[in-house]
């Protein structure tokens, strides 16, 4: 039975270790997809690569069949979300081919031992514009700055403010309608983790919490629209967008990113909860 603090689940050492394993499965799936991204590739091919990697490593794709609270028009039909250029999140893989110069954003999740890992990345297809390169780098860096604030004794607002301050300082708009979230026993748990806010505000960060931190930055407006498929979210003005996300365990030793490939097999140890 999960321990809870103000509705937020607190994971045990064992549960955090399972989350680390789930995250490593996601990291391997991301790596295989990145290697396959090139002009002419269909987004459904990347989806097949991700599903194969996840299942091969003993995981279960967490997005496939997902329909939160039965609020969407239909269950999500794929293992990954593949969003291109002005599409921010939740794009559905298809026969659509990647073109030279595109910015592709991929979101992928996996379940292992009942625990979740969730991550996203944006990547250029072939040669891309300086505008696109700068946007991707800024979004990646804003994630790292948010992760650095995911420390015991801090507040969710510390993470939010770090993302917002960096991104807006470079002239980008931060998407506000879609935010990060707690994660662990379910893909989406409390608390919400906005990419905007004030330091020192929001829920207290405690050891054993886990968060999916996911900045979404736009070149133009922060306003969004949902496309005709009922899932894909795009910028309202058609401007370029990028998205990065990692699952982060909060430990006494600092934040542990579970969804980046580990070179030493490390994880969340007993000193960390």
DSSP 170: T
Predicted local distance difference test score (pLDDT) of residue 265: 52
Please state the pTM of the whole predicted model.
0.95
Predicted local distance difference test score (pLDDT) of residue 43: 98
Predicted local distance difference test score (pLDDT) of residue 204: 98
Two structure tokens written together for 62: 């967490």
| Pair 157, 198: CB distance under 8 Å | yes
Residue 209 has phi, psi (to 5 degrees) of: -80, 155
Helix (H, G, I), strand (E, B) or coil at 161: helix
Distance CA 238, CA 219 (A): 10
| Pair 262, 256: CB distance under 8 Å | no
Count of positions (residues) in the chain: 273
The whole-chain average pLDDT of the chain stands at 95
Between residues 6 and 102, the one the model is more confident about? 102
Residues 6+ apart with CB under 8 A from 272: 13, 16, 207, 249, 251, 252, 253, 256
Per-residue b or e along 129-168, where b marks 16 or more CB atoms closer than 10 Å to that residue's CB: eeebeebbebbbbbbbbbbebbbbebbbbbbbbbbbebbe
Residues 6+ apart with CB under 8 A from 106: 30, 33, 46, 50, 80, 81, 82, 83, 120, 121, 122, 123
Q: In the Cβ-directed half-sphere of 237, how many Cα atoms lie within 13 Å?
A: 11
Distance CA 174, CA 101 (A): 23
Strands 80-84 and 87-89: unpaired
Predicted local distance difference test score (pLDDT) of residue 59: 98
Distance CA 84, CA 124 (A): 10
Helix (H, G, I), strand (E, B) or coil at 32: helix
| Domains of the chain: residue spans and CATH | 3-69+76-257 (3.90.230.10)
Checking if the pLDDT of 271 tops 90, the result is: no
> CB count, 10 Å around CB of 97?
14
What's the Rg (C-alpha) of the chain? 17
pLDDT band at 5 (very low <50, low <70, confident <90, very high): confident
Predicted local distance difference test score (pLDDT) of residue 6: 77
Q: Which residues on neighbouring strands pair with residue 4, listed in sequence order?
A: 9
| Share of residues in the chain with pLDDT > 90 (%) | 91
Checking if the pLDDT of 83 tops 60, the result is: yes
């Amino acid at each position: 039975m999960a321990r809870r603090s103000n509705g937020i689940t607190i994971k045990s050492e064992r549960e955090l270790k399972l989350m680390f394993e789930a995250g490593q499965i996601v990291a391997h799936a991301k790596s295989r997809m990145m290697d396959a991204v090139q002009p002419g590739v269909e987004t459904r091919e990347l989806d097949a690569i991700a599903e194969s990697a996840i299942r091969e490593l003993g995981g279960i794709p967490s997005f496939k069949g997902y329909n939160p609270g039965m609020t969407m028009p239909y269950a999500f039909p794929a293992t990954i979300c593949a969003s291109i250029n002005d599409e921010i999140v939740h794009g559905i893989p298809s026969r659509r081919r990647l073109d030279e110069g595109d910015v592709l954003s991929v979101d992928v999740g996996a379940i292992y031992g009942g625990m979740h890992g969730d991550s996203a990345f944006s990547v250029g297809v072939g040669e891309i514009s300086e505008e696109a390169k700068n946007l991707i780098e800024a979004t990646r860096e804003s994630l790292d700055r948010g992760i650095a604030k995911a420390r015991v004794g801090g507040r969710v607002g510390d993470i939010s403010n770090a993302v917002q301050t960096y991104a807006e300082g470079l002239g980008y708009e931060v998407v506000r309608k879609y935010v990060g979230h707690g994660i662990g026993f379910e893909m989406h748990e409390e608390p919400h983790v906005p990419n905007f806010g004030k330091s020192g505000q929001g829920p207290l960060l405690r050891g054993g919490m886990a968060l999916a931190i996911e900045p979404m930055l736009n070149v133009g407006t922060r306003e969004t629209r949902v496309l005709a498929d009922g899932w894909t979210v795009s910028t309202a003005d058609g401007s370029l967008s990028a998205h990065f996300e990692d699952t982060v365990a909060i430990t006494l030793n600092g934040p542990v990113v579970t969804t980046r490939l580990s070179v030493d097999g490390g994880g969340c140890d007993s000193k960390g909860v």
